[in-house]
Amino acid sequence: MGFLSTAITLYCDYSRPPFVLPPSPSSSSSPLSAAAFTFTELSASTVAVHFLLHRYRHLEDKMANQDDTHDASGSRNNVEKEIKRGLTVMKSIIRARDKGEKFEVHWSAEDQLIEPNGSMLASYIGSLVRQHIPITCDNWRSPELKVGKEKIWSEIQRSFHIDESRQKYCIQLAGKRLRGFRSFLSNKFLKDEEGNFVEAERPMKYAEIISAEEWDNFVAKRRNEKFHEVSDKNRKRASKPAYPYKKGRTGYARLQQRILAEEKSDATSLPEHVLWKAARVGKDGVIVEAVQNVYDECETLSQTLPSTEVQDCRSVLSRVLNVPEYSGRVRGKGFGVTPSSFYKKPKTKNPTNKEVMETLAELRAQVLELQKENARYREERCGSEAKDTSDRASINCQPKFPEGITPCQLYLSSPTYRIVGKGKVHNTSGELLHHNTLPVGYMKVSVDLVLDTDALLPLPDVVSETTLMRDAVGSFVGWPSDLIFPDAETPTRPTHKASKGISRRIESVASQKEVPGQKLKKAGKDIPTTSGTKSQIMMRLEKMVEESDIMHGAIGSIDFDEGVFGIAHSEIIAKEDMQQLFEHEELGIAVIHTYIWYMYVTLMRGTELCNRFNFIAASRINTTFITKNPTSVKNELVDRFMAADDNTTPSLYFLSFNSGNDGHWVLVAMDLSRLMVYYLDSLSGDWSKYPSMKKTVDAAILKFRSKKNYRNRKDITWVRVQCPQQNNSVDCGFFVLRFMRDIIALNRIDIPKMYFEEYKSYSRAHLDEMKDELCQFLVDQRII
């Protein structure tokens, strides 16, 4: 019976399908019924003979199948035998998901996947992309893949704690995994040992995820001659790398994490060349001489280059290797790091000679046109007998200089009114500039000292192509006569009595240091009226807009820090918004918010002013919303008040409030600690025009104080500030922005009623200055 038992066991193990004894009917008292197959009716020898015959036939069939497969597909069957590992399904992730568990994901300082769970997520993404994206996909940006990508992202979120902001990274990684999988299929199943393409059947290992039709299409594309050309080119390029990577699947991000952990360093990142060298050290720890030489050159170059050049998009490593760079990547940092994210500015392409010449021709044409416009403007302005009513009325249109050469100060009025250099004015009859007659309203000056190296010359020299102040030292240039002053004279507006309002005149350098808002250069209030002309920076921005997609219905988006309005905010910029700026029309919310963003970035961020001045989004608090749902608006205000870390110290909350019906803008400034609300309206009137607004603001302040458990129960005091008044129907938005700008510049929390006494109104020049500031900011931030 021992032999019989062994034979039965072997037969059951090797037979196909497995041998199973049928159960006996429940009504039968015998454990084995007569109808059932029983081994007791067979002898041991009979069972053994049947078993041996079955095994012989099984092996014979298997060998025949192997011969057929070998004849049909050459060595492909051997390849499948070598790949013993099954499909990657990440069962541990599935089991954890079934239990309701999710894995935490960690990211490096460069926003790359790191451990723990970084490699797990990367592998899981590879598994998902093989299931949901066909291998015949040639264009990862194809709209047809949208459903598959959404499925991949939803599956990732089911198993990992991951923020929505990481979706782009994960989908890009999925595309990389798909390309890797297709290369694997080509190299393993469609090529022989010498790299030549061969005929191959669909690998049965991947039959569950690759259909027969899909495989045939994939093979057909690999037979294409163009594909062969690209494949051969890439294979030759990668066949003998000069500095081979030796860290396998570790990747730069996890390698950096490992190095920092071993060194117990507080740093969050390593220089590119340091990481590049570490990635080319083998298991033996030996550093190839060529790699060490590159590293040494990088160290030397990094110590000799200025810090500004080190931060250039062309890194030290790239310069030393001196090889073509791929767009969208940073050498030595790995997947997910781009020039725009790493260097905080996009990588620019060097223009061709043709493009340079075309740009130069355009600039020359613009300069000539500007010269003509300025000449016409100055002729009209200086020929008028009307009295100059601007803040610089004491300065004549044509300052009088003695005959000969006189030391002078050189000023510019855009984007802010400021001194940019010193030199000498040459006031002689018949004076020429580079053999050309000077335009009307200009004088010849020699530049001796530059105070603002990046300032644009008011009259660029087309002959020598000099456009910046730093290039004009020691040479002669044309300068507007009303922006030239004797060296002993500093242009200021007439002084006012100390008892009237707050004087804007800065008396000394010491007093300037005492004003945190000096970054805005309050001297800009001395700009002469230039109504009717556009500055160079505005014309430049206008040209950029005309050449952008915005003119064809596209929109631009600006992402604000949460420090601006208390929460993360995105503003949409469209063609109509830019038109308001260029044509001096009534301002909408987009321009209002963008200028607030400009003030926050250039004046407040990183200073104590962030604790003293706060902004409330005008898109959330206006008459329309208050009428529809006052409770919701009140709660919005309370949430904004609660967002500040400390509301007990004096600070102001600026609310640019729009009436909704006629589109009029007013400024409401709230001091929560003193229960003071300041009302600034560029049209005569007070808060009684908007009773629902006042009621909502009062209710929000009281609710906030109640939530903070403040005991002070005194009433809220509203103060109408005597502020500059507009003389047309479109300037209210500009005035509101200027109110905030001046208040922040002087860093004054308590606003007196006569705070703006010295101004009867803002001149057009004051408003143009703001527009130029915003234009310059939009250009610098590359928003368009």
| Range picked from 49-63, 184-198, 390-404 for highest mean pLDDT | 184-198
The DSSP string of 718-729 is: EEE------SSS
pLDDT of 121 > 60? The answer is yes
Give the dihedral sign, CA 300/305/309/314. negative
CA dihedral 130, 136, 140, 146 (to 10 degrees): -70
Give the dihedral sign, CA 448/449/455/458. negative
Our measurement of the distance from residue 368's CA atom to the centroid of its chain's CA atoms, rounded to an integer in Å, reads: 37
Question: How many Å apart are CA 750 and CA 744, to the nearest integer?
Answer: 12
102, 161 Cβ separation under 8 angstroms: yes
pLDDT given for residue 776 in this prediction: 87
Mean pLDDT for 505-516 is 32
DSSP state of 600: I
Rg (CA), the chain: 38
Per residue in 224-278, pLDDT (tens digit) is 888 888 888 887 777 778 888 888 888 888 999 999 888 888 788 888 888 899 9
Other CB atoms within a 10 A radius of the CB of residue 704 amount to 20
Cα separation values, 307 from 159, 312, 665, Å: 43, 9, 45
pLDDT given for residue 63 in this prediction: 47
3-class DSSP state of 301? helix
Mean pLDDT for 96-125 is 90
pLDDT given for residue 512 in this prediction: 32
Question: How many Å apart are CA 149 and CA 610, to the nearest integer?
Answer: 41
Structure-model confidence comparison of residues 396 and 416, the more confident one: 416
Per residue in 202-228, pLDDT (tens digit) is 888 888 889 999 999 988 888 888 888
Tell me phi and psi for residue 6, to 5 degrees: -65, -45
Structure-model confidence comparison of residues 315 and 697, the more confident one: 697
Question: How many Å apart are CA 266 and CA 490, to the nearest integer?
Answer: 51
pLDDT given for residue 759 in this prediction: 59
94, 110 Cβ separation under 8 angstroms: no
Question: How many Å apart are CA 189 and CA 210, to the nearest integer?
Answer: 14
Question: How many Å apart are CA 548 and CA 540, to the nearest integer?
Answer: 12
Six-digit token pair at 321? 């290797």
Per residue in 471-486, pLDDT (tens digit) is 888 788 888 888 888 8
> Quick one: what percent of the chain has pLDDT higher than 70?
72
Long-range contacts of 365-369 (CB under 8 A, 24+ apart): 366/539, 367/459, 367/460, 367/462, 368/462
Q: Using 50, 70 and 90 to split pLDDT, how confident is the model at 677?
A: very high
375, 412 Cβ separation under 8 angstroms: no
588, 732 Cβ separation under 8 angstroms: no
pLDDT given for residue 473 in this prediction: 80
pLDDT of 334 > 80? The answer is yes
**Which of 43-47, 514-518, 637-641 has the lowest average pLDDT?**
514-518
| β strands within 271-349, DSSP E | none
Question: How many Å apart are CA 56 and CA 62, to the nearest integer?
Answer: 10
Residue with tokens 């340079």: 356
Tell me phi and psi for residue 153, to 5 degrees: -65, -40
565, 532 Cβ separation under 8 angstroms: no
